[in-house]
Amino acid sequence: MNTNTTTYILTGSSPTKLGVLDLIIGSLYRHECYAYEMHTFDDADTSRFFFRVEFNYVGRDEFSEEDLRNQFADRAAAFDMEWDLRDLSNPEKVVILVSKYDHCLQDLLHRHSTGALNIQIPAIISNHPDLKRLADWYNIPYYHLPVTAETKAQQEAQMWQIIQEAEADLVVLARYMQVLSEDMCKKLHGRAINIHHSLLPGFKGAKPYHQAYEKGVKLVGATAHYVSEDLDEGPIITQGVEQVDHTYTPERLVAKGRDTERLMLAKAIKLHVEKRCFLNGNKTVVFPGH
């Protein structure tokens, strides 16, 4: 038996139609591939079927990814299927946007350096110079792009050039405290993740945790979602909440919220790069991970 242990992921979606599962499993079987993890979801509201299959090759000869792709594509066309095949050993390239808060950036850099996140970070972009020391510590290029209302278009053009040159698969807003333009949101559709506190929409603007403290809030948390033109209202990937009580000062609420932000952002990135997230209109289909 072939000792190739490379992990592949086959993902996709199609209109609900008889025979989709046979196409997926049959194609893998004919190419001597063993599917050891499989998730499916049939959305009755949209009549759309979603799937994710994790597999490896167990045949005797050399595995041909090209043959599998070509033969699967021929059959998938009859199902109007959108699909992708990926070698999981190839890390996705992630460009991180950040301002002054460092908790999410620190967490992501640590997870990246220890291999907890299977990603490459070719660039960090910020509208402030403050966190360059962190980027230098991890030997990652840091681009300081100041922005004002008058220079926003120019700054985003520079940002987009860096993202393209880095061949980024994903852009992460790790507490980037600037609103992306509608044009930039469209360019990054489905491949940009933002994190914010889950006190919205009740406590908007400055010092949300202080506002929450004044109202005696008993839950704080964070939401990670795909970026959309609707500010902080994109399709949700992960959410986390933590219980608090009357003893929490505004400062302790902030600390608790930041802990939840970094955890939810890292989880959302992991789910995305492992191809467990699917856009489904204004919502997401998210298959569980490890």
The residues that are catalytic are 232
C-alpha–C-alpha distance, residues 277 and 116, integer Å: 18
124 CB contacts (<8 Å, ≥6 apart)? 95, 96, 97, 98, 105, 131, 135, 140, 141, 142, 143
Query: 140, 88, 132, 136: which is closest to 112 by C-alpha?
Result: 140
C-alpha–C-alpha distance, residues 10 and 111, integer Å: 25
Query: 160, 104, 162, 154: which is closest to 134 by C-alpha?
Result: 104
Task: Check: CB of residue 250 under 8 Å from CB of residue 242.
Answer: no
How many Cα neighbours within 13 Å face the side chain of 252? 12
Ramachandran quadrant class, 147 (left: phi over 0; alpha: psi -120 to 50; beta: rest): beta
For 237, list phi and psi in degrees, rounded to 5: -105, -55
Tokens found for residue 248:
């929490």
Residues in the chain: 290
